[in-house]
Structure 1
């Protein structure tokens, strides 16, 4: 590898203020303690491209943990060590994640296995990385001057918009790089370089990805969900047959890809109307990804994929109520009360998921949009305790009262506690004999 050195000024580039502060603090530490530390990876790439990134990666030629400790003393956060990988991290409350590694070399004993790690030189550390555009280094002691070290033609590939692996065994060593190649290509608007693409297809044919654990594959797919172009990413993975030989092998089809297109192209208005959070959107993405998977197989997958219990509960609830909710949606007469019932049964994530899978049902989508005002304004103040005050014993009658109450609250847009209690009182008065003589 021939080292090329490029010199720029940091002020040429637009960098997030919080990231810039971290870089200058790191630079002060490196200068004070004479440490050979470099900014590396995606942050350098994104600085050059003018993109924002919340990840900061440093590589130290000697003891990275000492540098990490000194950085932690200055900026705080949550600190972790990964001794087997000669690395550590700091996670800040503002969402910025800092990784610090000792320069290392890696040996892969088998395709898809985690590497055996040894201390190494700076050039050896570069060789272990995935793509040339992620191999650029910045000597942080030189800041505010930006001295960029390029061992592998990363600047060339940035300029030519190419995704290129470093050696022909790259996809064999770590088959998840095939998924990353696709993600970087569509995320950055780059092309996968021809030789790299040939090696990718060859690795797909030979099925190397089957040696990778389900959770590692899953983590790479979840990163695709963070993009507003997830449909493109999922479609390319499907066309390149990258789901083949994975836990999703039999479950991704044209229908699933169309659902992701709806999420990207059709759903933003509905998500805005319902104030869908990033966290809820991730649950919705998972619901679509798992759409074709039966409950029994899915329950076995949850542990392998390390799905949080809260998300498992939502997914299982929706799977269990799928037919019932679909029948509600596809009745001849659907009302805004139906939308309330769906949210009550399967949460807001479930409602949006059913909007995706029933997007051709114009009546349902229209009612869903109409209901958004009610959803954002309505809070149910009346409970079973209020009904008890009318000397009605708990039983099926409570549900009948609640259903009528909800219908009237929605119809009359009764958003205050006073209005809702008045409606409850009217319902009881008008139907007192029926309630007393009914199935109480």
Structure 2
């Protein structure tokens, strides 16, 4: 079977990269193939243009030549004989065809050069173990040794051999992710092997950073709740944390995410788009305490910025949450509570704590208070007779508070308030200094 017509329907930059990759491989004395997810998605007519190439020959030499032809950059990953070539928005992976062995279960594999057949055999599932030649003479020839096309048509997720989930237990998460993404089913033998591996505790043997990478991919899917529920039913979630589970409350929160994300995009199109996977992670970890959340983030190697965003909602406190529920909360109060938080934290709060006054207060902050400018600056403060120093920030904060609360409207109002504040602070300063002199005289 040939899929040359499908290859020719790819976007122009992808077609150009394929042509240049074939030229680079030929110049290096090798043969090159498009492999894995790209071939799968081409056959599914899915919009996915990630290009993964495997070279029978010297993949690193091919990658260097491709980078020159693309006028791009190349990053080598020598341990696994792979490289990434980037040019503009295009990124392609190039690897030397290899065979893998696992020194111990759940470890990273040892690799050595092999054939395209060897390389396909090391893949996770049959639907990802297909390749397409892009060489002259057989361009578009589909290589499907393990029945991937048949499984793709039947909507089945199937491993290539019985040790697959023992060798690499992260495939448990990938099996669920592909099953739920495409509406497929994990076929019975594969499901039995999956459950056997999970029951033996193999996920607990994997380095947490590898599990993190797979978990984040799940959280970035369109329906993370469906994926996680399937994972919980087939393998459990205790490998993440004993308190992580998906009950009715968590599933309800997950279902509300798309609507809040759509609202944010519609009402605030020029703001930074929230990372929805972070919101999904907050939902997943909702039952954990602040200390348990820190332990989770450190164990799984989360970036400190992401840890800070997730932890912020745990540290907000009942008193501040109560104020956000109140119709009597002043705009400056709402601002002081929400301004330090990320958009992800704020969206999570709006999802968890429902509608009514709480949501109104949050939407008022996002639409009106957040980013509200004041019209005076440091030059104005200096011209009012105040020298540079910490007093500037106190004045600006007081002016912003008054502006948020509608107590000042114009630039002249702000100047008048600043002038009165300078007088008040100066008088207070004189009083403090006078008290100090009196104490010394005593």
TM class, shorter-chain normalised?
A: 0.7 to 0.9
Alignment pair present for 1:51 and 2:46: yes
Cα offset for 1:38? 0.7
Partner residue, 2:368:
374
Distance change in 2, residues 1:315/1:229 (3 Å): closer
In 1: Cα distance, 2:399 partner to 2:233 partner = 50
Partner residue, 1:68:
63
Partner residue, 1:175:
169
String of CA shifts for 1:70-126, please: whole Å, max 9, x gaps.
1111124342222221222223441x4322222211112322111121222222211
Mean alpha-carbon deviation: is it higher for 397-406 or for 157-166? 397-406
Q: Secondary structure at the match of 2:2?
A: strand
Cα offset for 1:158? 1.2
Q: How does 1:247-396 map to 2 (within 5 A)?
A: 247-254=240-247, 255-275=249-269, 277=272, 280-334=275-329, 336-358=331-353, 360-374=354-368, 378-382=372-376
Gaps of 5+ in 2: 433-442
String of CA shifts for 1:304-347, please: whole Å, max 9, x gaps.
43333333344444443344542321235345544433332223
In 1: Cα distance, 2:383 partner to 2:277 partner = 42
- Of 116, 133, 148 in structure 1, the residue corresponding to residue 110 of structure 2 is 116
Cα offset for 1:143? 8.0
Cα offset for 1:39? 0.6
Distance change in 2, residues 1:334/1:252 (3 Å): farther
Partner residue, 1:85:
80
Cα offset for 1:272? 3.6
- Using structure 2 for the length normalisation, give the TM-score: 0.84
Whether the 8 Å CA contact 1:10–1:145 is kept in 2: the answer is no
Q: Secondary structure at the match of 1:7?
A: coil
String of CA shifts for 1:117-146, please: whole Å, max 9, x gaps.
122222221111001111111111148942
Q: Secondary structure at the match of 2:38?
A: helix
Whether the 8 Å CA contact 1:56–1:98 is kept in 2: the answer is yes
The two structures, once aligned, show a CA RMSD in angstroms of 3.4
The size of the alignment, in residue pairs, is: 427
In 1: Cα distance, 2:322 partner to 2:138 partner = 63
Whether the 8 Å CA contact 2:229–2:246 is kept in 1: the answer is no
Q: How does 1:73-222 map to 2 (within 5 A)?
A: 73-94=68-89, 96-142=90-136, 145-222=139-216
In 2: Cα distance, 1:364 partner to 1:384 partner = 35
Whether the 8 Å CA contact 2:198–2:235 is kept in 1: the answer is yes
Whether the 8 Å CA contact 1:90–1:99 is kept in 2: the answer is yes
Partner residue, 1:24:
19
Mean alpha-carbon deviation: is it higher for 284-293 or for 425-434? 425-434
Higher relative CO (Cα under 8 Å, sequence separation at least 6) belongs to 1
Runs of 4+ in 1 over 6 A off after TM superposition: 391-398, 429-440
Whether the 8 Å CA contact 1:162–1:192 is kept in 2: the answer is yes
Distance change in 2, residues 1:282/1:168 (3 Å): same
In 2: Cα distance, 1:330 partner to 1:267 partner = 21
In 2: Cα distance, 1:396 partner to 1:350 partner = 31
In 1: Cα distance, 2:364 partner to 2:137 partner = 55
- Using structure 1 for the length normalisation, give the TM-score: 0.84
In 2: Cα distance, 1:301 partner to 1:212 partner = 15
Cα offset for 1:232? 2.0
Whether the 8 Å CA contact 1:137–1:149 is kept in 2: the answer is yes
Distance change in 2, residues 1:434/1:351 (3 Å): same
In 1: Cα distance, 2:168 partner to 2:376 partner = 56
Q: Secondary structure at the match of 1:80?
A: strand
In 2: Cα distance, 1:13 partner to 1:407 partner = 62
